[in-house]
Amino acid sequence: MDSKTRLATSGSSDELFDLNLPLYPRSLAEQGGTVFFLLSTPAGRRLGLLAEAGAAVLGRFAGEPVERNGKTLLLCPLTHANAVALRAELSWLRPAPLGLATSAGCGDRLGLATPGHIRAARTVMAQTASNRSIKMIFCQQSIREMTRTGRSPDDVMDDATWAIFQEGWVEGAGADADHLKTAEDIDRCAAAGYTFFTIDPGSHVDSGADTAGPAALAARYEALPWGALETTPGDMQRAYHGKSFDLGVRAVSLPEETVVRAAVKYGGAVAHVAAMYRHLLKTKGRNGWELEVSVDETDTPTSQAEHLFIANELQRLGVRWVSLAPRYVGRFEKGVDYLGDVAAFEEDFKGHAIIAQAMGPYKLSLHTGSDKFSIYAIASGCTKGLLHLKTAGTSYLEALRATASFDPELFREILALAIERYETDRASYHVSGDLAKVPRPEMLSDSELPALLEQFDARQVLHVTFGSVLNSDRGYKSRLMAGLVAHEEIHYRVLERHFIRHLAPMLQS
C-alpha cells in the first residue's frame, strides 16, 4: 500500500483533499472525468470517488461526501450495492467468458486471497518468454463451500471485485459458479452475474458399471432415463455399431459392451448435464457465459472410451461446453501433490487431450488441482495450452501459513480443532491423511509452525476442517480474518510465492 495521502484534480497539481490515509496505488483509475480509488481507513477499506460537484456518477454510489473548490470527494463503504455500481462503471471488473485460452481458477474461502492470486498471475506473465498468457478466474466457489463459509454468490463476487479493483487488474477475469448440482444453484449464481458454470453430475454416475456382471449391467442399461436421453436402448447401440471416430492421429470404434458400460456409468450424468444446460439457456440466453462439465469427483477413472462416449452424447443432445474434467488415473487428493505413477498419468492424459482436440476443441480441466506440481507442465504440454486449472482450499492453507508466522497461538488453537474434527469432516473429501502422523500443537515451537504446512497429513487435516474452524463458536474466523487484514502484505507475499508455482508451469509446452 502506498503512503500517498493527497488527491488532486485530474490534470492539475492542486492538492484538494488531505486524507491522511494510505491509498492502494494500483486502484487509481479515471473514467469519464471521475477518479476512482481504494484506501484504508480505521473503519476498514473505503471506495473513493473524486468528481465534479453534482456529477451524475456520484448519485449511483452511497457514501459520505466532502465538498471543496467545486469538487466532491465521496467515501463509500464496500457494500454490495456499491460493488454493483462500480462494476457498472469500470468494464474490466465485470466477469466475462474466457473461451479456449489457457486458464486458471483461484478459489478464495475467506474472501481475502485474491490480491495474492493477482500478484502471482502478474509476475508469471511478466516473466514468461512466450507470447502466451493465462486467463484468470478470481471469483470461484462451490455451493458446498459457500454453505460452509457462510457466504452467498454475491459475497464471493463482491470480494473478488474489490480485490481486482485494489490491485488494478484490467486484463479481465471470469467468475466460476463451481460444482453446481441443481437448477436452484444455477439461478442463484446467474443472478449474481457469474459467467462460468461448472455442472457436477457426480451423483448420477454409476461407478459400479465397471464391474457389474452381464445381468446386472443389462438391467441397469434398460433402467437409464431414456426419455431425458432422447433415444432408446436399441437406438443407442445401433448409433455406435460400425461407427468410427476420427481423432486425427487414429480412428477409434467403441465395441457394444464398451458402449453399454459407458452408458450405464455416465448416461444419467449426461442427461443431468443436458437438463442443466437447457436451464442455463433459458436463464442466461445463448451468449455471455460458458459451461464446464465435471465428472472428477467419482470413485473410478474415466477411460478414454468413456470420455469419447460422454462428448459424443452431449453433442448429440445439443450441449456446448468449453472445458471438461474427467476423473483421471491416479489420485487427486486435497492439498497435496498428485499421487500415482506420473508416467502413467502422462500416457493416459495424452489420450484425453487427443479426444478433447478432436471432439471440440475444448479444454481439459484439472479439478482438485491445487498443489499438483508434478503434473502441471505435463498437462500443459499434452493439451498445447487447452487447459484449465482449478484450485480452492490451498489458499486457505496459505492463510494459515501466514497466520502461523504472526499469531502462533491462534494457529495452535486452529490446529487443535482440526485434529478434533478431522475424522468427521473428511467424509465428503478424497483424502488419506493419517491423523496419527500430525504433530500436536504443544509439540512444536513457534518457529516450527509454518513448516507444518509442508507436511502431507497436516495439510489434509487443516484443509478439510475449514468449515468447522470458520463456524466455530470459539471466534476463530473473526480472529483469523482480523489478523490477515492487519498483516495483509505478509498474506499476499505468501500467496504470491505459492501460486507462482501453480501458474508458471502452465505456460510451458
Per-residue model confidence as pLDDT tens digits over 312-334: 999 999 999 999 999 999 999 99
Residues 260 and 239 in one domain: yes
507 falls within a domain:
no
Tell me what pLDDT residue 13 has: 39
Residues 151 and 184 in one domain: no
Instruction: Give per-residue burial for 338-359: e unless 16+ CB within 10 Å, then b.
Output: bebeeeebeebbbbbbbbbbbb
Tell me what pLDDT residue 120 has: 98
**Spacing of C-alpha 358 from chain mean position:** 26
Residues 67 and 206 in one domain: no
CB atoms within 10 A of CB 8: 14
Residues 61 and 78 in one domain: yes
Catalytically annotated residues: 178, 292
Which grid coordinates belong to 170?
A: 484490467
Tell me what pLDDT residue 15 has: 57
Q: Virtual CA dihedral for 399, 403, 406, 409, nearest 10 degrees? A: 180
255: DSSP letter? -
Q: Which one of 307, 342, 364 terminates a domain?
A: 364
504 falls within a domain:
no
Residues 149 and 181 in one domain: no
Are the beta carbons of 223 and 264 closer than 8 angstroms? Answer: no
Are the beta carbons of 192 and 94 closer than 8 angstroms? Answer: no
390 falls within a domain:
no
CB atoms within 10 A of CB 217: 18
Residues 343 and 419 in one domain: no
Tell me what pLDDT residue 9 has: 47
Domain extent for 276: 177-364
387 falls within a domain:
no
509 falls within a domain:
no
332: DSSP letter? -
Residues 214 and 318 in one domain: yes
216 falls within a domain:
yes
Q: How far apart are CA 227 and CA 390, in angstroms?
A: 33
Whole-angstrom CA distances from 348 to 207, 227, 267, 297 are: 19, 33, 22, 18
Radius of gyration, CA atoms only, the chain: 25
Are the beta carbons of 114 and 212 closer than 8 angstroms? Answer: no
Which grid coordinates belong to 172?
A: 479481465
110 falls within a domain:
no
* Residue tagged 468410427 (cell numbers): 244
Residues 242 and 156 in one domain: no
Tell me what pLDDT residue 17 has: 80
Q: How far apart are CA 142 and CA 109, in angstroms?
A: 10
Tell me what pLDDT residue 376 has: 98
Q: How many domains does the chain have?
A: 3
350 falls within a domain:
yes
Residues 325 and 343 in one domain: yes
E strand or H helix that includes residue 145: helix 143-149
Tell me what pLDDT residue 287 has: 96
Report the residue count for the chain.
509
Residues 65 and 198 in one domain: no
Residues in the chain where the model's pLDDT stays below 50? 3-4, 9-13
E runs forming strands in 329-406: 363-366, 387-391
Q: How far apart are CA 101 and CA 362, in angstroms?
A: 10
Residues 457 and 349 in one domain: no
Amino acid at 153: P
Residues 360 and 449 in one domain: no
Are the beta carbons of 260 and 222 closer than 8 angstroms? Answer: no
Q: How far apart are CA 199 and CA 186, in angstroms?
A: 9
pTM greater than 0.85 (yes/no): yes
Are the beta carbons of 331 and 339 closer than 8 angstroms? Answer: yes
E strand or H helix that includes residue 137: strand 135-142
pLDDT digits (tens, 9 = 90+) for 200-247: 999 999 999 999 999 999 999 999 999 999 999 999 999 999 999 999
